[in-house]
C-alpha cells in the first residue's frame, strides 16, 4: 500500500495560461538542451546531458543498443517521464509548461507492437469522437484498409475483439497508422512532418535524413545518415555492417 501512495500524480491536462496556438507545432523542430533523466532518485541517469536538435519536417532515426536510452528519450518527449534537468523545446516552446493534453494531442505515435482495443472499428480510430465518418473513411483509404472494413458486417461499427485478436498483426499496424493519419498535424502523409523513428531494426532508419546514435545515455554520433554511412569507421556504419552480415548469414543457411 505504501508503494502506491508514493506514486507521483500526472501533471495537469490543460493549463489555460500556457496553451499553444492551434497551429503549434507548425515546423516541428525538437530541441533537447542538456537533458538529464532518471527513473527514480536512487537510480543512475538514463540520459546524461543530451544536447541536440531534430530539424523540423525531417526524419530522424534513433539508434543504439539495448539500454542506450532510445525509449527513455521518447518517453520524455511525451512527458511519460519528467526530466531531472534540462529542457525539451518544440518550435521554441518548453514542453514542461504545457498541459499534458495540449502536448500529447499534437504528437502522434505508431507503436512497434500494434494495439487495438475491444469495441468497434470507429472507436479504435477515433476514441474521442472528434472526426466525421467521411474523415475516418479517408484515413482508412490512405492506409489501405478501406476495402477490408467495407467487407465487415457493420463496417465502421464492426466488432473488434480484445487486443484486436480478430485482426491480423499487419491490419492492426495499419489501424495504428490510420489513427495517426486522422490527426490534423499529419494530414499530408508525413510530407511536412517531423518523424522520429526508434530503430529496433537498423533497416528502419536507413532512409532517415538524420541519425542519432546513443550509447549508455550519451550521444555517440549525430549526423546525416549518408555521411555516417560514408564513414566506415562510424559506429552507425559498423552497426549496419553487422546487421548485413547477420542477414546474409541467415539467408545462406
Distances (CA, A) of 109 to 176, 179, 180, 194, 234: 8, 9, 7, 12, 29
Number of independent structural domains in the chain: 2
- Give percent above pLDDT 90 in the chain: 58
Q: Are 147 and 187 in contact (CB under 8 A)?
A: no
> Does 92 lie in the same domain as 69?
yes
Distances (CA, A) of 98 to 11, 104, 239: 9, 10, 37
How does pLDDT run across 108-151, given as a tens digit for each residue? 887 767 788 899 999 999 988 888 999 999 999 988 899 999 99
Across-strand partners of 94? 89
> Does 103 lie in the same domain as 33?
yes
The predicted model scores a pTM of 0.73
Going along 64-115, which residue ranges are E strands?
85-90, 93-94
Could you tell me the residue range of the domain that residue 200 belongs to?
26-107+193-247
How does pLDDT run across 6-27, given as a tens digit for each residue? 455 677 787 888 899 988 999 9
> What CA–CA distance (Å, rounded) separates 69 from 215?
7
Tell me the mean pLDDT in the region 201-221. 91
How does pLDDT run across 47-64, given as a tens digit for each residue? 999 999 999 999 999 999
Q: Are 121 and 166 in contact (CB under 8 A)?
A: no
> Any idea what the CATH number is for the domain that residue 84 is in?
3.40.50.300
pLDDT value of position 185: 37
Note whether residue 6 is domain-resident: no
Alpha helices, DSSP H, located in the chain: 2-5, 70-77, 100-104, 121-125, 133-142, 146-151, 169-182, 225-230, 235-252
> Does 221 lie in the same domain as 201?
yes
Q: In what order do the strands lie in the sheet containing 93-94? A: 47-54, 30-37, 85-90, 93-94
Amino acid at each position: 500500500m505504501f508503494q502506491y501512495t508514493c506514486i507521483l500524480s500526472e501533471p495537469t491536462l490543460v493549463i489555460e495560461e500556457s496553451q499553444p496556438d492551434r497551429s503549434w507545432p507548425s515546423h516541428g523542430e525538437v530541441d533537447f538542451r542538456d537533458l538529464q533523466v532518471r527513473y527514480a532518485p536512487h537510480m543512475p541517469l538514463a540520459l546524461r546531458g543530451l544536447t541536440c536538435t531534430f530539424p523540423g519536417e525531417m526524419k530522424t532515426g534513433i539508434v543504439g543498443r539495448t539500454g542506450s536510452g532510445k525509449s527513455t528519450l521518447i518517453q520524455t518527449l511525451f512527458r511519460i517521464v519528467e526530466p531531472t534537468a534540462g529542457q525539451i523545446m518544440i518550435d521554441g516552446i518548453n514542453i514542461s509548461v504545457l498541459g499534458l493534453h495540449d502536448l500529447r494531442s499534437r504528437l502522434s505515435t505508431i507503436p512497434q507492437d500494434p494495439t487495438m482495443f475491444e469495441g468497434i472499428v470507429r472507436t479504435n480510430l477515433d476514441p474521442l469522437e472528434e472526426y466525421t465518418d467521411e474523415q475516418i473513411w479517408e484515413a482508412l483509404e490512405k492506409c489501405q484498409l478501406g476495402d477490408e472494413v467495407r467487407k465487415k458486417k457493420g463496417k465502421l461499427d464492426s466488432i473488434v475483439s480484445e487486443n484486436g485478436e480478430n485482426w491480423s498483426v499487419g491490419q492492426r499496424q495499419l489501424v495504428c497508422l490510420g489513427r495517426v493519419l486522422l490527426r490534423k498535424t499529419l494530414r499530408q502523409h508525413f510530407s511536412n512532418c517531423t518523424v522520429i523513428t526508434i530503430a529496433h531494426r537498423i533497416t528502419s532508419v536507413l532512409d532517415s535524413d538524420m541519425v542519432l546514435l546513443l550509447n549508455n545515455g550519451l550521444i555517440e554520433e549525430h549526423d546525416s545518415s549518408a555521411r555516417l554511412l560514408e564513414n566506415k569507421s562510424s559506429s552507425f556504419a559498423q552497426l549496419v555492417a553487422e546487421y548485413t552480415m547477420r542477414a546474409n548469414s541467415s539467408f545462406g543457411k
